[in-house]
């Protein structure tokens, strides 16, 4: 009701009355861990970037509850030969990982050659790819 002094309509009264004897029907489900992969195979194969330093950068820079460097048990950063996997039990956006990856590339002065692209095949995978510079060079030679 709009005001406490006005009488409620019969339909509104049923919605307001507390339900007695019914249990909550929502089951408390365990949150599924978010799993993100950053595929760095192309720059690592060309020895442009080191996967270990990228893993350390992510571990140091990811913020949990407004604090950097304190991941705790909620976020885990692991690496393979060419991939970095970030597993999060708490909220972590994929876009935030892209931001941190771009920040790492800029710090190591390879942002001009590499870009971060979401994979076409899998939803939670970012890939580091080279810009297509070959098309631009052909245009510059003509001038």
Instruction: Tell me what pLDDT residue 114 has.
Output: 93
Which residue, 117, 118, 36, is CA-closest to 83? 36
Rounded mean pLDDT of the chain? 82
Question: Taking the model in full, what pTM does it have?
Answer: 0.70
pLDDT in the model for residue 108: 94
What DSSP line would sit under 50-72, residue for residue? Answer: -HHHHHHHHHHH-EETTEES--T
Give the Cα-Cα-Cα angle 45, 120, 138 (nearest 5 degrees): 65
- Which run of H or of E encompasses 31? none
How does residue 137 score in pLDDT terms, banded at 50, 70 and 90?
A: low
pLDDT digits (tens, 9 = 90+) for 94-127: 999 999 999 999 999 999 999 999 988 888 999 9
């Amino acid at each position: 009701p709009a005001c406490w002094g006005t009488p409620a309509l019969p339909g509104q009264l049923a919605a307001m009355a507390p339900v007695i004897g019914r249990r909550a029907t929502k089951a408390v489900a365990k949150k599924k861990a978010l799993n993100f992969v950053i595929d760095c195979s192309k720059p690592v194969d060309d020895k442009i970037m080191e996967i270990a330093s990228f893993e350390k950068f992510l571990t140091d820079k990811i913020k949990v509850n407004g604090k950097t460097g304190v991941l705790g048990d909620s976020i885990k950063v692991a690496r393979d030969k060419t991939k970095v996997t970030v597993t999060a039990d708490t909220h972590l956006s994929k876009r935030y990982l892209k931001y941190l990856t771009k920040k790492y590339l800029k710090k190591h002065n390879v942002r001009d050659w590499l870009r971060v692209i979401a994979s076409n095949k899998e939803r939670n995978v970012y890939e580091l790819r080279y810009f297509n510079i070959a098309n631009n060079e052909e245009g510059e030679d003509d001038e």
